[in-house]
Amino acid sequence: MAARLCSISAATRRLLRGPELRAGNVAAAAVGRFYSKDNEGSWFRSLFVHKVDPRKDAHSTLLSKKETSNLYKIQFHNVKPECLDAYNSLTEAVLPKLHLDEDYPCSLVGNWNTWYGEQDQAVHLWRFSGGYPALMDCMNKLKNNKEYLEFRKERSQMLLSRRNQMLLEFSFWNEPQPRAGPNIYELRTYKLKPGTMIEWGNNWARAIKYRQENQEAVGGFFSQIGELYVVHHLWAYKDLQSREETRNAAWRKRGWDENVYYTVPLVRHMESRIMIPLKISPLQ
């Protein structure tokens, strides 16, 4: 039965012959506050750090990039365990065509399978250049794309569940750019208490500088549609040992302990995924 469900139709096999795209916890366990010797004066230094006034506008306007109108969609697909290989093959055949087609205002940012975390899961991150109008334009065109509709029909037989969110990127994070591999990626997801997004942003606008030495910071996003008050931080590491060393090094930097101390109380739930990129992912 598993073989029949996960087999690929003749129409889909034709798609597989198409060209492929190939690309070249916040430490909640810290029960007590970790103080550096210079923290005594940190309150004074913070007076000179720009803070966003939450009364001026919606947090989406205050925290997102002003110079771009990018909108992001993150998709989580829970795949039948026996179908993961067929799912990956189908995905790698079809999605690059949308990425490369200039008529569609969308592009792949990254595609992964979860290695540690929720198993048999695929994660896809898309960018829509032009915001919501670009999203709607792409959706309307896909309704008439017979190849894509066949792909969705075939894919649906392989899935247990799926969900997505629309995201904006934080103004103080890097914009995700393609990078060469091999790398592993960590997606850290924080579900915040309602009303705390501005405070989260103010703290991370200062703290992100402590996590840049090894160019591990890939992108930071917050949800606009779907589950709200959700933050995603995406990091890249050479391997799990590099991840451990990089994260430990952050604790030796003056000021990082403050960020953890002030942001942990804002969190209702957090989750970490270690992910391996698919061969079509621009983030390798």
pLDDT in tens, 39-67: 444 444 443 444 544 445 555 666 776 55
The yes-or-no verdict on residue 38 having pLDDT over 70 is: no
Which segments within the chain are labelled E, that is strand?
Answer: 70-79, 106-116, 121-129, 159-169, 184-192, 217-225, 230-237, 267-277
> Looking at the DSSP assignment, which residues form a beta bridge with residue 220?
233
- What pLDDT score does 47 carry? 39
Higher pLDDT, 87 or 34: 87
Q: Is the pLDDT of residue 114 over 70?
A: yes
Q: Report whether pLDDT(150) > 50.
A: yes
- Look at residue 212 in the predicted model and tell me its pLDDT: 81
Tell me what pLDDT residue 253 has.
84
- Grade residue 10 by pLDDT with cuts at 50, 70 and 90: low
Range with lowest mean pLDDT among 156-160, 185-189, 254-258: 254-258
What is residue 7's predicted lDDT score, i.e. its pLDDT? 63
- Buried b / exposed e along 96-107 (16+ C-beta atoms within 10 A): bbbbeeeebbbb
pLDDT value at residue 94: 96
- The pTM for the full model equals 0.80
Determine the pLDDT at residue 11.
54
How many C-beta neighbours within 10 Å does residue 203 have?
Answer: 18
CB 218, CB 176: distance < 8 Å: yes
pLDDT for residue 37: 39
Do the Cβ atoms of 233 and 79 come closer than 8 Å? no
pLDDT at position 63: 76
Question: For the chain, what is the mean pLDDT?
Answer: 84
Structural domains of the chain, ranges and CATH numbers in brackets: 71-277 (3.30.70.100)
Does residue 79 contact residue 122 with C-beta atoms inside 8 Å? yes
Which tokens sit at 68?
């771009």
Span 135-162, mean pLDDT?
96
